[in-house]
Amino acid sequence: MSSSEILIKARNLTKKFGSFTAVDHINFEIYKGECVGFLGPNGAGKTTTVRMIHCFWPLTEGELYVAGFNVSTQACEIKRIVGVAPQEDNLDPDFTVIKNLQVYARYFDIPKAEATKRAKELLKFFQIKEKQDVLISELSTGMKRRLILARALINEPQILLLDEPTTGLDPQARHIVWDEVRSLRKRGVTIILTTHYMEEATALCDRVLLMDNGKIIEQGNPSALVKKHIGAEVLEIDNDEKLLQTLKAEFPAARFEAFGDRIHVFTMQPHGVFERFLERNSLTHVTIRNANLEDVFLKLTGRRLRD
Ligand SMILES: Nc1ncnc2c1ncn2[C@@H]1O[C@H](COP(=O)(O)OP(=O)(O)O)[C@@H](O)[C@H]1O
Ligand SMILES: [Mg+2]
């Protein structure tokens, strides 16, 4: 459960690469026991932020504290209590599955017997125990991802940083990762993840921070953000001028957005308004669906491709 104890605190956190500002004076707090998602289009600054939390990149400006330790002066203390699953696959292809964990454990001075015990437990937890003696090249993408998660936990971290933990996974593998993340959270691990999947953020995160162009542009609980920015439901209709005029008359405050040859209608209104409208006007080719975090994401960051 989350508490009100602040575990990570960023003030004017800034990272520049040359003259380019990747993270631009951001402020945030992460509370103990939370699962928090950093969302945002490609290049928003999510990975750079995560990398500053685990002392990979020095800050250009600002302050960042992790469990009370200053990232600029107490990297050793922080690395001991943080686990990191990076965005890219950086497993060692020359080692077996279990050896990858044992070698990683050396960075934390974990004695060999203890490292092997933990490695076996983690491989069991992540459902890859039967693969412990095979080389990395023999693992599926989902297994590699789960091994990276296992590796991130070898030092029994209080804080787990997961950078796009399920990118490229099929739905089965993604759901296994979700179950594992939930069960780690239940054990009290504070989790920060980045993701492009709004469904994932909704399923896992107590709170999300939405980044764009190096800034945090919105934050909050996923369903509260949906309610605040979109409302309860979205109506999707074929692009038809007569129908549009009827809708505009009925919902003068609504927002209409073209999406290919479909129009999405956002009203901020509660459940049921679209259904009653449809009943009064016998309409076909319309869909009422629940508003979701992706609607919020697209509203706040736009539809322009970023890379
Ligand atoms: N080592 C680097 N050198 C120069 N620019 C970088 C470097 N790392 C990231 N960037 C730039 O910083 C911006 C933010 O990158 P990143 O944090 O990886 O974004 P995200 O993870 O949100 O996709 C991008 O424009 C990226 O190209
Ligand atoms: Mg990234």
Torsion of CA 219, 222, 225, 227, to 10 degrees: -170
pLDDT at residue number 53: 98
Distance from Cα 7 to the centre of ligand 1, integer Å: 25
What average pLDDT does this structure show over 2-10?
87
Shortest-distance atom of ligand 1 to CA 48: 17
For ligand 1, atom 24, the nearest C-alpha belongs to: 43
| Residue-level length of the chain | 307
For ligand 1, atom 5, the nearest C-alpha belongs to: 17
Nearest to 161 by CA among 84, 65, 54: 84
The region that residue 273 occupies, defined by phi over 0 for left and psi between -120 and 50 for alpha, beta otherwise, is alpha
In the structure, what pLDDT confidence band is assigned to residue 227 with cuts at 50, 70 and 90?
A: very high
Mean residue pLDDT across the chain: 94
Angle, CA of 267, 207 and 43, to the nearest 5°: 85
For ligand 1, atom 2, the nearest C-alpha belongs to: 17
- DSSP E strands: which ranges in the chain? 6-17, 20-31, 35-39, 61-66, 69-70, 82-85, 159-163, 190-194, 207-212, 215-220, 233-238, 255-259, 262-266, 286-290
Lowest mean pLDDT among 92-106, 206-220, 274-288: 274-288
Q: Write out residues with Cβ below 6 Å of ligand 1.
A: 17, 20, 22, 40, 42-48
Strand order in the sheet with 20-31: 20-31, 6-17, 61-66, 69-70
Kindly state the percentage of the chain with pLDDT values over 90: 83
What is d(CA 69, CA 82) in angstroms, rounded to the nearest whole number?
12
Residue 214 has pLDDT above 90, yes or no: yes
Nearest to 295 by CA among 275, 267, 260, 253: 267
Residue 185 has pLDDT above 80, yes or no: yes
Please give the residue that has the higher pLDDT: either 86 or 4.
86
pLDDT at residue number 8: 98
8 A C-beta contact, residue 169 and residue 157: no
Q: How far is CA 132 from the centre of its chain?
A: 28
Q: Which domains does the chain have, with CATH numbers?
A: 6-221 (3.40.50.300), 231-291 (3.30.70)
Kindly state the percentage of the chain with pLDDT values over 70: 99
Distance from Cα 46 to the centre of ligand 1, integer Å: 8
How far is the CA of 27 from the CAs of 32, 87, 96, 211, in angstroms? 17, 23, 41, 11
What average pLDDT does this structure show over 74-79?
97
What average pLDDT does this structure show over 244-263?
90
Distance from Cα 74 to the centre of ligand 2, integer Å: 25
pLDDT at residue number 1: 47
Nearest ligand atom owner, CA of 162: 2
First to last CA, the chain: 37
Ligand 1 pocket mutation, candidates 15, 47, 53, 305, criterion most atoms within 8 A of CB: 47
pLDDT, one tens digit per residue, over 84-129 is 999 999 999 999 999 999 999 999 999 999 999 999 999 999 999 9
pLDDT at residue number 3: 65
Name residue 11's beta-bridge partners. 63
Distance from Cα 43 to the centre of ligand 2, integer Å: 7
pLDDT, one tens digit per residue, over 123-152 is 999 999 999 999 999 999 999 999 999 999
